Amino acid sequence: MKKILYGIPNCDTVKKARTWLADNGQEFEFHDFKKQGLERTTVAHWLEQLDWETLVNRKGTTWRKLSDERRARVVDKASALDLMLENPSVIKRPVLECDGKVSVGFSVEQYEDLFGDWPA
């Protein structure tokens, strides 16, 4: 079963998730969405399972640097999808995709719960 961890390599939370996965015998592919980009279909798939307000990190630097006008235009899945493709750094990290399931963020407890259902 293929696991893909999406994020950027210098993000502390992504580093913690990568370390946890490796230390717990979980094989995964890392996708650096700043360097490799993101497909519209990938982000649309995430939005089928997760609310756009969960995926858009409105506490981060990228969001705060957007103009008030640009932030005001993010009101639904479609507008959030456009923003995430324009500025992947606005996506809360990491995003983990496995066997069609999608999870965002990282904590030890969250991954322990997830991998009770997802085999190595």
The residues annotated with a catalytic role in the active site are 11
Phi/psi for 111 (5° steps) reads: -70, -35
Decide if 92 contacts 7 (C-beta within 8 A): no
Peptide bond into 94 cis (omega under 30): yes
